[in-house]
Amino acid sequence: MISKILFIVLFLFCSALSYGQINIEADASVSNLLRYGNGYEYTGSVRNAKEYFENLTDARLNVNGVVFGMRYEVSDPIEYGLNFVGVRKRYVEYNSDIGISLRAGDFWETISRGLSLNSFEDRALGYDTGIDGVRVSYNKNFGKKNPFKLKAQILGGNIKYSDYLEPERIENYKVRGAYAQISPVKQITLGMNYMYSIGELPEQNDLTKVTSDIPEANLTYTTTDFQFYISYAHKSSIVSPNSVYTSPVTALGDGLYSSVSYSFNKLGLTLEYKNYRFDITLPDNRSSTRPTRMLPYQNPPTAQKEHTSTLITRNPHVVDFNDEVGGQVDIVYAPNDKMFFNLNGSIASRHYQYMDIDPTTNITYQRVERSNSFLPDLDNAFSPFWEVYLEGEYYVSEKVYTKLALARQSSVLYNQLNPLFSEIIFNSTIPAEFKYSFTDKYTLKIIGEMQWVHNSIRVSEDKNYTNQYFSLSLLRAPDLTVTFSADLTSDDEEPTGKKSWFQGDLSYQINQSNTIGVSYGTERGGLKCANGICRYVNPFTGFRLSVATQF
């Protein structure tokens, strides 16, 4: 259907051009990204050959305000996901002077902070919830002195979601949405969104049909140095009977997110709160593919700090959007223009603990109710997480820059059947960075990180081990970066049996339009996260190449 719409629009537009009814003003742009890797990937101690070849060509043509775009993809074999050769994305878009915009084809969309809709693509994780459909938007200000602002949007289309953890598992969704946002006065913005979808999910050689409704309302209050935001979404899902479900299943859930930001003088303060209850369920029903879970096209804020440290990001807290309550506080202080401090604290847990009420060998869980479930609980039965992070940056001079940080994390993965075998991890990490500019052109960058880890479920009596990371980079502005990195551990239970990983990277900007990157060596692997989506990346040994071109 979308292809037919694109063809009709293009045909009418070209017909008008052929009759000389439109003066042509056109510009075009093309970007290309080639990625190649060849080596070995480790699953535990098993080594398997690994090769991928991916080439993405994105073309964009703007003719008199009408934009035509497409992506031609060759992913054969792909690094993560399913192999594909052909036109992956295509669209036509038009923005009028009266505030109306139309897009037909592929697009991604985020409404407000994403509680009801946040579709996006992250190729590094093999994740894509793009919509193939139609989106019509209207954006208009009424009045000049104190304008009344209005935004409205309707959309509809299809999502073909390939599970990034099990790519062969495909979920199909037909989605419809309507959004409206008004700003009656300068300080206040009110928004409402409604999403409706019909999904088909593969389960036990059958397709499970899930019909979902997600209304959302949000409010923003903003002044010069203060902002308050709050959003609430309610999810209702109905699972139709089939060979898996003998009768209809109705599941209700909701999510609340709020943030407060305040800045004054040299201090900035941000508070975030999350209360995600999109599918609270019993411990023996927490499958990541259950049809009543939070939908793939939802993706609320994580309300926790996103780190750049290699060692800290290797063991992140994976947010459970179906059952998690918590938040974070972030403080930034700049006593002068050469010194910056950042203090961050975050906490999260499940809402409830559960008990087995069946006196036989069978297991029947029952929720233990608590009146303050809107607050996180640090008892191990709630699988809690907390983190404290302190960072300082200091520009010693125009040539010297330093950064030092300290992070302390604690996380529990509670074992409901045998609490003594719950995974409890404590780690302390000290990342440090030093940069020295010899001249305006040459800079030396050194990163060193040390981490102390305690893991309660290690087999050996010694539950402690250390990790170290070191990198040395030479930068020649603006075109060349050469980096050598070393990753070390004292962990005798490292799945690959290795204790060290070494890698060299080179990035060279040939000109303003072309950049080439090459790396060779060993990579330790671990969890990789973006926007709350996490996947485990296996250790890799070998060669990687990337070539980026824009013109």
Residue 20: the pLDDT is: 52
More confident residue, 12 or 123: 123
The per-residue pLDDT for 486 is 98
Could you give the maximum distance between any two Cα atoms of the chain, in Å? Answer: 84
DSSP string, 207-256: EEEEEEEEEEEEEEEE-SSEEEEEEEEEEEEEEPPSSS-SS-EEEEEEEE
pLDDT (average), residues 292-316? 94
pLDDT of residue 33: 97
Kindly indicate the confidence band of residue 153, based on its pLDDT and cuts at 50, 70 and 90: very high
| pLDDT(5) > 70 | no
Q: What's the mean pLDDT when you consider all of the chain?
A: 93
Whether residue 2 is predicted with pLDDT greater than 80 in this model: the reply is no
Task: Note the Cα 346 to chain centre separation in Å.
Answer: 18
> pTM of this prediction?
0.92
Please report the pLDDT score of residue 18 as a whole number.
Answer: 52
* pLDDT of res. 220: 97
Task: Say which amino acid occupies 358.
Answer: D
Contact (Cβ atoms closer than 8 angstroms) between residue 34 and residue 542: no
pLDDT > 70: what percent of the chain? 96
Q: Which residue has the tokens 């309300």?
A: 303
| % of the chain at pLDDT higher than 90 | 81
Residues 232-254: tens digit of each pLDDT: 999 999 999 999 998 999 999 99
The DSSP string of 59-126 is EEEEETTEEEEEEEEEETT-SSS--EEEEEEEEEEEE-TTSEEEEEEEE--B-TTSSS-B--EETTTT
What angle is formed at CA 322 by the lines to CA 311 and CA 369, rounded to 5 degrees? 110
Q: So where are the chain's domains?
A: 108-301, 307-349+374-493
Query: How does pLDDT run across 393-403, given as a tens digit for each residue?
Result: 999 999 999 99
- Calculate mean pLDDT across residues 427-440: 96
Q: How wide is the angle at C-alpha 100 spanned by C-alphas 98 and 103, nearest 5°?
A: 150
Establish whether the linkage from the previous residue to 478 is cis, with ω within 30° of 0. Answer: yes
Question: Looking at residues 60-65, what average pLDDT do you find?
Answer: 91
Other C-beta atoms within 10 Å of 61: how many?
A: 15
Tokens read off for 531:
């926007």
Q: Is the pLDDT of residue 8 over 70?
A: no
Summarize pLDDT for 472-531 with one digit per residue, the tens. Answer: 999 999 999 999 999 999 999 998 889 999 999 999 999 999 999 999 999 998 888 888
Whole-number pLDDT of residue 10: 54
What is residue 24's predicted lDDT score, i.e. its pLDDT? 81
Mean pLDDT on 146-175: 94
Q: What is the pLDDT of residues 206-223, one digit of tens each?
A: 999 999 999 999 999 999
Lowest mean pLDDT among 427-441, 462-476, 530-544: 530-544
| Plot region of 349 (φ>0 → left; ψ -120 to 50 → alpha; else → beta) | beta
Q: Smallest Cα–Cα separation from 24: which of 58, 65, 52?
A: 65
The CA–CA distances, whole Å, from 194 to 140, 154, 175, 256, 357 equal: 21, 10, 10, 16, 40
Q: One-letter amino acid identity for 1?
A: M
